[in-house]
Copies of this chain bind each other. A is one copy, B any other.
Amino acid sequence: MKFSIITLVALFFLLLLHVDVHAQTSSKASWVWYPGDLDIWVSNKMQNRRTERGSFLPPFWKMDSHYVLVEFHKDFDLGSAEEVKLYVEGQYNVKIDGQALSGYPKNIIVPAGKHKLSLKVYGQDKVPAIFVQGKTVVSDASWLSTYEDKEWIDASGKASDKSGTTFVSVGTWNLTDPLLPPSQFKLATKAVDAVKTDKTEKGFVADFGKETFGFLKLHGLKGKGRLHVYYGESREEALSAEKCETLDLLELDLHGKQDSTIALSKAFRYVNCQPEGNVSLEKVSMLYEYAPVKEKGSFRCSDDQINKIYDVANYTFHLNTREFFIDGIKRDRWVWSGDAYQSYLMNYYSFNESPIVKRTLLAQRGKDPVTAHINTIMDYSFYWFLGIYDYYQYSGDQKFVQDVYPRMKSLMDYVLGRRNKEGLLEWMPGDWIFIDWADKLSKDGEVSFEQILFCRSLETMALCADMAKDRASAANYRELAIDLKAKIFKYYWDESKHALVHSRIEGKPTDQVTRYANMFGIFFDYFSAAQKQEVKQNVLMNDRINKITTPYMRFYELEALCAMGEQSYVLQEMKAYWGGMLELGATSFWEEYNPDKKGTEHLAMYGRPFGKSLCHAWGASPIYLLGKYYLGVKPLKPGYETYVVEPVLGGLEWMEGKVPTPSGEITLYCSKKEIRIQSDEGTGTLRFKSNSKPLAKGAEIKEIGKRTYELKIEKGIPYVVSYTK
C-alpha cells in the first residue's frame, strides 16, 4: 500500500479537523449540579402538586433533598487566557488554583497554562448549579463535584491534601440556556381549544374531545363572587360537583374583563364551569402541557383496531411521560417505581428518552439512609433494581450504572437486613406488599411473587457489582441469588398443581395458585421448558385461576405468553381487552379494566365513584408488546451492540415499524412473503421461519434449524428477504 505525501497531509488535516470538531462539540456549556440532585428537587416539586378535591395531597414516604453546599471544579490547560462568563444558582465563590476571587464575579479571566477552576455554591431553596461559558472553559459532564470538600488548613495556613474527599461527575440534563437555570425547568405548552361546549343553567361544560393535560385558561372573566371549576376525565365526573376528583374554587372580585390561566395544571377531558354571584366567563381553552419528546418508535399493521390501540397507547404514554415517568395524570402524578418500570420498557420502543429514565430512577431512590422500600412497597424496590439493568441493556450506558451503584447497594443492604430466618422476605412493619390491585389477594406469609423479584434483583446486583468492579459483592450477590432460587423451587413448586403456589404461611406452602410468580418465572427464564408448558396450560390459560383486571399485570401475563410464542393468542387478547376500552369510548387507557363491569362502574375505584384514573401509563403496554414480541426487536448486548429481530405476525397480514436504538433506529417491514429491514447501528440477527427457502439479494441466509433461518444485519445496509410464512 502506498500513500502520496499529499494524501498523508490531507489525512493529517482531516484528523485535525476531526479533533477540532470534537473540541467544539465538547465546548457546549450546560447547567451542571451534584448528580441526582435536580432529579430529587424537581420530583419533590412535581409530586407535591397533587390535589384531591382542592386539598393538597402529598406523598406518604420520605422525600429527600439536594445537597445544599456543593463544590464544582475542573482542571484546564489553556493555550491562551480565556474570558469566562459565570451563571450560578445560589450563593457562591470562585477560585482559581485555590485562590478565591473577591465577591460574586460574573466574568473572569482564566490565564493560559494549567489551572484549576472551582466554584462552591450554597443553595437551600434551589439546587446549587453552575453554568460556565468560555471558549473552551465550559461546564459540562466532565466537571467534578462533591458535597464534602475537606480542605484543611493547619496553623501555618497551609492546606492539607489528605482530604479523602470523593469527587463525582456532575449531573446534567442538557439545559443549555444560561438564562434558564435549573430551578426554572418546565415542560412545553401549546394553546388548545375545547371542541364543544354545552351550556348549563348558570355555566357550561367544555369538552376537549379527548383526555388531555394542562393549564385551564378562563376567557372573558368578570364580576364578583365565586367560580367553581370541576374537572372530569369523564362527562359524569365533571358534572359531579360532589364527587369529582379535582376542582378549583376561585374567589373573584374583578373590575374589568380579563383572561386568566389557572396556576396548577390538571388532567381532564371535560371542564364544568359554574359561576356564582355576578361572575361570568365567555369560554375556556387550555395550555396543553407536554414533554417535547420525539416519536422515535412506530408500529402499523394490517389490523385497524390494533393500529388504533397502538395510537391510543402511544398517546396515553406520552401524557404520562412528563418531567418523569408518572403513574397517571389525574391523581397521583408520582414516581411510582412499579409503574415506571413498565414505562421504561415502553419507552425503549417509543421515545427512547434515556434522560427521563435516569431522572425517574434517581428521583425514586432519593438519598441514604434507606428507611423504607421505594414508595414503601416491597415489590417496588425490586422493580427499581430491574429497571437499572434493563436501562443498561437498551442504552449501553455503563456510566450510569456505575454512578448509581452505591445507592443500589445501600437499598439492597436494607432489603437483606429484612430477611427472616429462612432468608425469605415477608411483611414487616413499614412494608406494603402490593403485587396488584385485586380482590382477596393474600399478602400473608412469604409470598412467592416477592421472592422471585428478590431473586432477580440479586442477579441484577451481581451484574451491576461487576460493572462497578465490586468483585467481592458480586460474588456474594450471585451466591445469594443461587441459594434463593433453589429455595423458591423447593418451597413453592407444586408438582401436582404444575405451578408455583402463591405463598408459604408458617412454614407451609398454601394451596392457592395465582398468576403472578408463575408468569415472571417464564420470562425470567427460571422454569425449565417443561415447566413453562405446564405453567402455560395450568395457570396462564386456565380460566379457573383468578383473572387479572389491571393492564399493569396484564402486561406481564401477555409478555409471558409472547415469550412462549403465543403471539396469535395475545393479539386476540389485546384486541379484546384494549379494544374493549376503546369500544367504551376510551381516548386513553385506564388504570383498571374489568370487562364484566357495566356503565359508570368503569369509572369507580378505591371506593370513590370517579376514583379510577382513565389515563394510566401502565395501560400503554401494547407499545412494548408490539415492538418486542411482534416486530421482535431486542438487544442482546448492551446498547444494541448486538441484537436480534424475530418478527412474528401473530395473525396479522403485515406489519411495519421502527424501534429506536441509542443513536439511530431499526426499521422493519414484515408480511407473509417479505421482510425488509435496516439498522443504524450494531450487528443484528434476523431470525424467522419460512416454509420455502428464503432469499435475500446480496446477503447470505443461514438455515439454523427446521424451517428456521438467520440473516446477519450489518448497519446501514437495507435487506429484503423473500420467504413464505
Contacts and interface: CB of A to CB of B under 8 A. Distances in A.
Interface of A: 41, 44-45, 48, 52-69, 91-93, 100-104, 120, 122, 124-125, 147-153, 155-158, 160, 162-165, 249, 368-369, 371-372, 376, 427-432, 437-439, 605-608, 611
Contact of A63 (B67, B100, B164, B368): B67
Nearest to A125: B125
Contacts of A69: 44, 48, 58-59, 62-63
Nearest to A101: B55
Nearest to A120: B58
A38 B124 CA distance: 13
Given A44-B69, A54-B103, A55-B103, 6 more contacts: A44-B122, A58-B120, A60-B148, A60-B150, A148-B372, A150-B430
Contacts of A120: 56, 58
Contacts of A53: 100, 102
B152 A93 contact: no
Which 7 pairs, one residue from A and one from B, show the smallest C-beta to C-beta distance? A157-B607, A164-B430, A164-B429, A125-B125, A55-B100, A157-B606, A155-B437
B606 A148 contact: no
How many copies of this chain are found per oligomer? 2
Given A56-B122, A65-B124, A431-B164, A152 B376 contact: yes
B58 A93 contact: yes
Report whether over half of chain A's contact residues are helix, strand or loop; otherwise say mixed: loop
Nearest to A52: B100
A155 B48 contact: no
20 contacts: A44-B69, A44-B124, A45-B124, A52-B100, A57-B100, A58-B120, A58-B122, A60-B149, A60-B150, A62-B147, A103-B249, A148-B372, A150-B430, A152-B376, A155-B606, A157-B607, A163-B430, A164-B429, A165-B430, A369-B369
B148 A61 contact: yes
A439 B155 CA distance: 8
Nearest to A377: B152
A371 B148 contact: yes
A124 B372 contact: no
Given A44-B68, A164-B431, A606 B152 contact: no
Nearest to A372: B148
Contacts of A100: 52-53, 55, 57
B58 A607 contact: no
A60 B124 CA distance: 16
Given A59-B69, A69-B59, A102-B54, A607 B156 contact: yes
Contact of A150 (B155, B376, B437): B376
A207 B438 CA distance: 78
Nearest to A48: B122
Contact of A124 (B41, B59, B149, B608): B41
Taking each of A69, A122, A125, A153, which has the highest tally of chain B beta carbons within 10 Å of its own beta carbon?
A69
A56 B104 contact: yes
A374 to B, nearest CB: 12
Contact of A155 (B59, B64, B605): B605
Nearest to A62: B148
A93 B56 CA distance: 5
Contact of A163 (B54, B92, B429): B429
Given A48-B69, A608-B157, A124 B125 contact: yes
Contacts of A430: 150, 163-165
A100 B103 CA distance: 48
Nearest to A40: B68
Contacts of A369: 368-369
Contacts of A153: 606
A668 to B, nearest CB: 40
A124 to B, nearest CB: 6
A719 to B, nearest CB: 49
A164 B429 CA distance: 4
Contacts of A104: 56
Given A101-B55, A437-B155, A150 B432 contact: yes
Contacts of A57: 93, 100
Contact of A606 (B156, B427, B432): B156
